[in-house]
Amino acid sequence: MAELVPIRDLSSPELDVYARLPEVQLYRYHEPAPGLFIAESPNVITRALDAGYTPVSMLVPETETEGAAAAVIARAGDVPVYTAPFDVLTKLTGFRLTGGILCAMRRKRLPSAGELLTAGSAAAGGPSGAEAAAAGFRRIAVLENVMNPTNVGAIFRSAAALGMDAVLLTPGCADPLYRRAARVSMGTVFQVPWTFFDGRTEAWPSAGLALLKESGFRTAAMALSDDSVGIADPALKAAPRLAVVLGTEGDGLARETIAACDYTVKIPMAHGVDSLNVAAASAVAFWELGKG
């Protein structure tokens, strides 16, 4: 049973994970073993628990311990639950607790991109990955250097809602388990299988794209180009396995990535608009290309 621990000293080292350690340090907290991440809101924490992530401690406004957070606390097992008035926790963390509860959790070992594509059931995001892999991944998303955690979270939410079987990320992307990314995703980062290309044997774009092709995927680069095909092109829907490749905010995909993909794909625009934000573009692409 969880132990409620009133906060008496904001400088207590037990609170460092919530107040004084940046997310990069949390990532390396148990190096070389997987580190920690912070999940925010009952919904996100519940999905993380459903996916088998282990809680370490919680930070909860004292008014919520028997309210919205009660069910999550009950599931957390024997971990400390640090409590204080809402304004004290805002001062401690430096931001308002939008979901009313934070939970420090242990990361899992991520599979390599090759392991994820080959085994399918090595679900970095949770047990639902095995279900998606039962028939083999057919539609996946690849994110190239998408650095904004909000965009990464929004892309995951669209991927989950619109039928993407997995997400692969280049090393330059924001971590899907960063607090803001996981919160914006509504916890779908724990439901959609994902991992990073390792930057060495799976270096992007050359080795990463080769791996996708070896795994039977046709690749569709989302970019504006003279030889772009429309997103409704029948050849895209006919592809048995398709990887939708999306680029960084502003600059889009690297030229070498576009040149190496099987298709360059554009979303038709109106009123002189040349492109959409990567998160918005992902939703359109997943909706249309997921129909294949």
Q: Is the omega angle on the peptide bond into residue 111 within 30 degrees of 0, that is, cis?
A: no
* Structure tokens, 28: 């390396």
210 and 259 housed in the same domain: yes
Predicted local distance difference test score (pLDDT) of residue 127: 39
DSSP of 55-75 = EEEEEEEGGGTTTTTHHHHHH
255 and 143 housed in the same domain: yes
71 and 144 housed in the same domain: no
What CATH number is associated with residue 260?
3.40.1280.10
Predicted local distance difference test score (pLDDT) of residue 62: 87
DSSP of 189-218 = GGTS-EEE--SSTT-TTHHHHHHHHHTT-E
Residues, the chain: 292
| β-sheet bridge partners, residue 278 | none
DSSP of 262-276 = SEEEE----TT----
Closest CA to 52 of 110, 161, 125, 119: 125
Domain span including residue 209: 113-289
Last residue of a domain, one of 106, 129, 151: 106
Q: Provide the percentage of residues in the chain whose pLDDT is more than 90.
A: 68
Last residue of a domain, one of 106, 134, 154: 106
80 and 219 housed in the same domain: no
Q: Cα separation of 79 and 111, whole Å? A: 28
175 and 70 housed in the same domain: no
Give mean pLDDT, residues 262-273: 87
123 and 145 housed in the same domain: yes
What CATH number is associated with residue 28?
3.30.1330.30
Last residue of a domain, one of 77, 106, 135: 106
**pLDDT tens, 120-164?**
533 434 434 434 443 489 999 999 999 999 999 999 999 999 999
AA letter at 237: K
Q: Provide the percentage of residues in the chain whose pLDDT is more than 70.
A: 92
87 and 137 housed in the same domain: no
Q: Where are the beta strands (DSSP E) in the chain?
A: 3-6, 36-40, 55-61, 80-84, 102-106, 139-143, 166-169, 194-196, 218-222, 229-230, 242-246, 263-266
149 and 282 housed in the same domain: yes
Residue 291 has pLDDT above 80, yes or no: no
Closest CA to 176 of 110, 252, 81: 110
Q: Cα separation of 156 and 267, whole Å? A: 20
- With DSSP H G I counted as helix, E B as strand and the rest as coil, what are the percentages for the chain, rounded to 5? 35, 20, 45
76 and 60 housed in the same domain: yes
Longest dimension (CA), the chain: 64
**pLDDT tens, 29-70?**
998 999 999 999 999 999 999 999 999 999 998 888 887 788
CB 98 within 8 A of CB 183: yes
Report the mean per-residue pLDDT for the chain: 89
174 and 215 housed in the same domain: yes
Pairing label, strands 36-40, 229-230: unpaired
If one counts the domains in the chain, the total is: 2
Closest CA to 221 of 195, 250, 260, 249: 260
Residue 292 has pLDDT above 70, yes or no: no
Assign 118 a pLDDT band (cuts: 50, 70, 90). Answer: confident
- The whole-model pTM stands at 0.89
227 and 275 housed in the same domain: yes
| β-sheet bridge partners, residue 126 | none
240 and 264 housed in the same domain: yes
CB 36 within 8 A of CB 26: yes
**Chain CA centroid to CA 37, Å:** 12
